[in-house]
Structure 1
Amino acid sequence: MNIFDHNIKDVAKGNVVAILGAQWGDEGKGKIIDILSKHSNIICRFNGGANAGHTISVNDVKYALHLLPCGVLYNNIINVLGNCMVIHVKTLINEIKKIDNNILDRLYLSDKAHILFDIHQTIDSIQESKKLKEGKQIGTTKKGIGPCYSSKVSRIGIRLGELKNYENFKIKYNELIENLMDLYNITEYNKEEELNQFYNYHKMLKDKIIDVVSFMNKNIDNKKNILIEGANAAMLDIDFGTYPYVTSSSTTIGGIFSGLGIHHKRLNLVIGVVKSYLTRVGCGPFLTELCNATGEYLRKNGHEYGTTTNRPRRCGWLDIPMLLYVKCINCIDVINLTKLDVLSGLKEILLCVSYKNKITGQLLEEGCYPFEENAEETYEPVYEKFEGWEEDISEHKSFNTLPENAKKYVLSIEKYLKTPIAWIGVGPNRKNMITKN
């Protein structure tokens, strides 16, 4: 069964579809996930925690989701939080209450996902403050993501499955908190208050914590339509991203298989979400960054402020070498190009098509990307220039009616990536999405 529009039916014949960010996050994944949700039976998250943020606009009402999959906005869709997530349960419960308490009826959590405690957030702040003093800050969201994954890989973390038996959970909880307080020299921490909260969480969630591996595979066998939504994005992947300025989980296609317990032959289609320009939050290299009026124009027009932190995002030109590198890793089949409308009003638009070594003059090989922390000292972007367009394109319904210069820009991206662009976002709402034939 194919759950997508007829123009890509030859690409995928199956019922499992993944949507992944192809840049540094904030590509606007939420909209295409939300649009395709109505065709789905089950929607899953497989990685990360409350450091991720999707802002969904439905009927001109905005919803900021951090842990919940976008399918929670539909009453008939099952939602799954996968194995490789780190879940701050207090945040999860608050998010449910803000939207609809009935969400819990259609939400399942993996027994293998790790619990993120308040102490992990305390440790995150301690670590980031220390790095700031040393001039080596990463720019984390201070949501405790890294410290929780550290507990996981140190084999001292606590999985959600432990919460089903509260008495056993309490023993493990005390061991973990005492260990972390000693390790980070934390002298005060209200364990009793947090344990009382977790007793309530135990009663609320014990029947919602399941074996997600079995659940996923049974539903795939039963031909249910599965939509998998990625958090963060490829260039923030702990292994493949711009390390150390990355998140702490696998954000690329490999994270799906460990995060949901399905194998690669189960996945039928990968949609890469690409913003029409480039942004990142926090520190790290950014070779096409615009520290000028054009960068400010993109930030203002694109409302480029973090969903989770409200930090202003750094803005720059779209980076083709980055996308080709990401395509190699993720096996991207089709692209959703977002926020094309933000470029309206620019007289000139640049597209980074390669990188040149400043010393040798050689172009970087296709599929490679300059990852050095001081890459800007060695490499410079090679740009192709495009004339801009003035008109507002947010009400356009067809690719053919777009301004000629907008079409040229889109077709050039498609040409360089050798990948079809199936959808183009031209405005903030679900209705502002063109299906390109």
Structure 2
Amino acid sequence: MPAIVIVGAQWGDEGKGKATDLLGSRVDYVVKPNGGNNAGHTVVVGGEKFELKLLPAGILSPNAVPVIGNGVVVNLEALFEEIDGLQARGADTSRLRVSANAHLVAPYHQTMDKVTERFLGKRAIGTTGRGIGPTYMDKVARLGIRVQDIFDESILRQKIEGALRQKNELLVKLYNRRHITVDEIAEYFLSYVDRLRPMVVDSTILLNDALDQDKVVLMEGGQATYLDVDHGTYPFVTSSNPTAGGASVGSGIGPTRITRSIGIVKAYTTRVGAGPFPTELEDKWGEYLQKTGGEFGVNTGRPRRCGWYDAVMARYAARINGFTDYFLTKLDVLTGIEEIPVCVGYDVDGTLHSQMPMTQTDFHHAEPVYETFAGWEEDITGCRSLESLPENARAYVLALEEMSGAPFSAIGVGPGRDQVIQVRDLIS
């Protein structure tokens, strides 16, 4: 049975949660393979909006087992706050499973995130300040604390001591912050032991056994392709690999078992935080997309920068992730715009680029080359087939599909769970 990957094709906020939720009733496991509580999903169920941060969107699917994979960095305080919030609204979170190998965000990671970001000044990346980057840094430096470590207090204290040896030097001598003790960090982690223990599993065995038993496993990547630490707009990226290859590593599911790679792409483009953005609109249309699309961060409330659809970015994302399908979201937001530009290439110092420029410098200086499409006035939120779309909306979708590197198998025409045009089956 299939292992399916869902990946954001832009800078995040494309609607991955909607795609996961759409498939959730037909899959057996939904896995979050990377990231932490620095990026969120908004899912609308029965007219009710749920904002998920650390939990997989599959937590709201009645039949799926949600799994936090080994590639995730877990803030335990945030995890249980989110669980408690969902339970208070009647959601069932009892099926949640957490990988024993996932790394934990410690309070000192959040402190380091905030002070180092301020220290960078004009070169700040625009992080959420939630300690995600410093946690991944410790993971790579072999100073990390994993979920399994908090069940052995002796090992936990040894690891905390090792991690704090350098950090206290930096915090006290460089950043003028207070010294952090081993005891306070150990006490923080140990306070969650009893509640966390029933959720913890060897996730690689759980998920591979599920595939052996003909179960359907869906991997839902956090962030997006252009925030990938290797393939994104470095250094304005996250600290993990939110691409299809990263989903394999972050879940323990081998790449040969992945049968579908689905890219989620918005009908326009948005970005949160600093970094280059060729099609960014700093005019009335940027404000229109931001307001009409509700483009504000799920976690931070920060307004998202908005721009027209970038087909060059879409082609690159399709290649990097090996997309078998695209899910186009928020087409309805464009309703009422008389003419809709689409970026089909870049002009870099007089040279036309139809593919992503090789260097950060060229991408930073890229000027979008636009092709303009006629807009539509009709309400499309009730459309459930390509044929039912207004002629201009259908022409826009087909043009984007032609230039984006993978077929459009689903199209979002509204925020609701059922407001989707399904062109092709995303599972079979």
Q: Normalised by the size of structure 1, how large is the TM-score?
A: 0.92
Deviation at 1:173, TM superposition (A): 2.3
Is residue 127 of structure 2 the alignment partner of residue 136 of structure 1? no
- In the other structure, the counterpart of 2:360 is 372
Distance (Å, rounded) in 2 between the aligned partners of 1:175 and 1:245: 29
- In the other structure, the counterpart of 2:28 is 41
- In the other structure, the counterpart of 2:150 is 163
Distance (Å, rounded) in 2 between the aligned partners of 1:236 and 1:373: 17
Is residue 287 of structure 2 the alignment partner of residue 296 of structure 1? yes
- In the other structure, the counterpart of 1:282 is 273
Is residue 120 of structure 2 the alignment partner of residue 120 of structure 1? no
Q: Is the partner of 1:354 in helix, strand or coil?
A: strand
Q: Which runs of 5+ in 1 are unaligned?
A: 1-13
- In the other structure, the counterpart of 1:8 is none
Deviation at 1:74, TM superposition (A): 2.7
Distance (Å, rounded) in 2 between the aligned partners of 1:391 and 1:365: 33
Is residue 85 of structure 2 the alignment partner of residue 108 of structure 1? no
- In the other structure, the counterpart of 1:243 is 234
Is residue 315 of structure 2 the alignment partner of residue 324 of structure 1? yes
Deviation at 1:391, TM superposition (A): 2.1
Asked if 2 retains the 8 angstrom alpha-carbon contact of 1:236 and 1:247, the reply is: yes
Distance (Å, rounded) in 2 between the aligned partners of 1:49 and 1:255: 14
- In the other structure, the counterpart of 2:412 is 425
- In the other structure, the counterpart of 1:15 is 2
Asked if 2 retains the 8 angstrom alpha-carbon contact of 1:423 and 1:436, the reply is: yes
Distance (Å, rounded) in 1 between the aligned partners of 2:348 and 2:154: 61
Counterpart AA for 2:369 = V
- In the other structure, the counterpart of 1:73 is 60
Counterpart AA for 2:60 = L
Deviation at 1:178, TM superposition (A): 4.1
Seen in structure 2, the aligned counterparts of structure 1 residues 100 and 120 have a Cα distance that, compared at 3 Å, is same
Deviation at 1:253, TM superposition (A): 1.2
Distance (Å, rounded) in 2 between the aligned partners of 1:264 and 1:254: 7
Distance (Å, rounded) in 1 between the aligned partners of 2:405 and 2:156: 51
Is residue 190 of structure 2 the alignment partner of residue 199 of structure 1? yes
Counterpart AA for 2:118 = S
Deviation at 1:355, TM superposition (A): 1.4
Is residue 207 of structure 2 the alignment partner of residue 216 of structure 1? yes
Counterpart AA for 1:125 = K
- In the other structure, the counterpart of 1:175 is 162
- In the other structure, the counterpart of 1:390 is 377
Q: Is the partner of 1:393 in helix, strand or coil?
A: coil
Deviation at 1:206, TM superposition (A): 2.2
Q: Which runs of 5+ in 2 are unaligned?
A: none
Deviation at 1:320, TM superposition (A): 0.7
Asked if 2 retains the 8 angstrom alpha-carbon contact of 1:290 and 1:317, the reply is: yes
Q: Give CA-to-partner distance per residue, 1:77-108, whole Å, 9 cap, x none.
A: 21111111111111001111111288553122
Equivalent residue in structure 2 for 1:342, among 333, 338, 346: 333
Deviation at 1:386, TM superposition (A): 0.7
Asked if 2 retains the 8 angstrom alpha-carbon contact of 1:85 and 1:259, the reply is: yes
Q: Give CA-to-partner distance per residue, 1:99-157, whole Å, 9 cap, x none.
A: 1288553122112111101111111110111112xx11111111101111111111111
Equivalent residue in structure 2 for 1:253, among 244, 263, 276: 244
- In the other structure, the counterpart of 2:368 is 381
Distance (Å, rounded) in 2 between the aligned partners of 1:139 and 1:256: 24
Seen in structure 2, the aligned counterparts of structure 1 residues 371 and 280 have a Cα distance that, compared at 3 Å, is farther
Asked if 2 retains the 8 angstrom alpha-carbon contact of 1:72 and 1:79, the reply is: yes
Distance (Å, rounded) in 1 between the aligned partners of 2:184 and 2:92: 26
Distance (Å, rounded) in 2 between the aligned partners of 1:141 and 1:203: 29
Distance (Å, rounded) in 2 between the aligned partners of 1:175 and 1:419: 47
- In the other structure, the counterpart of 2:254 is 263
- In the other structure, the counterpart of 1:9 is none
Q: Normalised by the size of structure 2, how large is the TM-score?
A: 0.93
Paired residues, what number?
Answer: 418
Q: Give CA-to-partner distance per residue, 1:169-201, whole Å, 9 cap, x none.
A: 233224323432223323244754543342231
Report matched runs for 1:398-417 at 5 Å: 398-417=385-404
- In the other structure, the counterpart of 1:10 is none
Q: Give CA-to-partner distance per residue, 1:406-427, whole Å, 9 cap, x none.
A: 1111000111124211111111
Deviation at 1:365, TM superposition (A): 4.6
Q: Is the partner of 2:127 in helix, strand or coil?
A: coil
Is residue 220 of structure 2 the alignment partner of residue 233 of structure 1? no
Q: Is the partner of 1:217 in helix, strand or coil?
A: helix
